[in-house]
Structure formats: structure tokens, C-alpha cells
Amino acid sequence: MKRFLVVGLGNPGIEFEITRHNAGFLFLDYLNLGNFSSFRDSLINTQIMFDMQVTFMKPTTYMNSSGLAVSEFVNFFDVPIENILVIFDDISLPVGKMRIRAKGSHGGHNGIKSIINCLNSSDFKRIKIGVGDKPENWDLADWVISKFSSDELESLNSVFNNCKKSVDLILKDKILESMNLFN
């Protein structure tokens, strides 16, 4: 059976739960998949969807080392690069927006940079979730670990609904359709 990996990026720990950098974790929580189990440096939940084994992953390595957890899983289960989707925060998009890409550069995102380095490829699919640009007098590191406001969390719910639709289309090998609908 074909295997697909959907990675939601974030940082483990209660202090990071509703922070901007945890947009990927928050999306996986939104899916309400049930319990996650430990697999090496990650938490995973595997579902059968569209005649595939789809594993949803939360790396527990912290953002800047996300590639370690992803590569451990990919190497253990021999998952092809084209069967990987990573969902993560993007400061260049406002809260409430998302962007889908078939592949690309890290764009300055350390979690994506780690995955590219560990997989030795940038050819995996991505969904970027807007978390807003940092205010003028903020340090970037402080901004991405700042908590979403209640209004921003409300905006994320509609984005997460579209992310779910996008994930379903990508799993059906319809990424272009997904990009046309949601970009």
C-alpha cells in the first residue's frame, strides 16, 4: 500500500502550544485525528485514506531540527520525496491566508531548511499558513514564538478548513487543482 507523510511543524511543550511557529501542530490538532504515538523523534498518527497509509507527524525535535524526525521516518518506511507534504508557518502571509507549493526553497524558514538538508531534496509539497509579519520593533525569534490572539485563532479555523480540503486534494494527486482553488 502506498504511504504518504503529512508533517505539521512546530515546537513541543506547553509553552509553545498556541504560538505562531506551531501553526503546523495546530492544524494537525484541528483535524482531530485521535491519539498520536511515539516514533523515534516524533509523534505520529496513521490513517487509511484514499487507499493509502497516510501518516500525520509532529516532530518533537524542535523546529530547527525538524529534518531529523522527517528523515528518520522517510528512511525507515522508504517514503518517496514526492509523497511528503509539510505544513508550516509563514510570516510573509497575513493570518487567515495560506499558500500551496509543489516544491521550493526554504525561504528563510529554519524548519524547512532542516528538512531540505536532511532529505537532500527540496522537492516535497508544502502548505504555508500565514502567521503575519513581525511588528517593526520585534525580534523575529520572539515573534514566531508569540501566541496568537483570540481573533487570530478564529481566522485560523477557516484557513484550517481550507488546508484540510487542500490536503485531501494533494493526497488524491491533485496539487494543481488545490493551488488553483486556494492560492
pLDDT of residue 7: 98
Question: What's the pLDDT band for 6 if we cut at 50, 70, 90?
Answer: very high
pLDDT of residue 140: 92
- The CATH number of the structural domain formed by 3-182 is 3.40.50.1470
Maximum pairwise Cα distance, the chain: 51
| DSSP-derived 3-state class of residue 120 | coil
Spatial contact of 89 and 131, defined as CB atoms under 8 Å apart: yes
Active site (annotated) includes residue 106: no
Select which of 5, 8, 20, 21 is catalytic: 21
Q: What are phi and psi of 5, to 5 degrees?
A: -115, 125
pLDDT of residue 169: 98
As a whole number of angstroms, the distance between CA 130 and CA 114 comes to 20
For residue 45, give the C-alpha cell.
Answer: 498518527
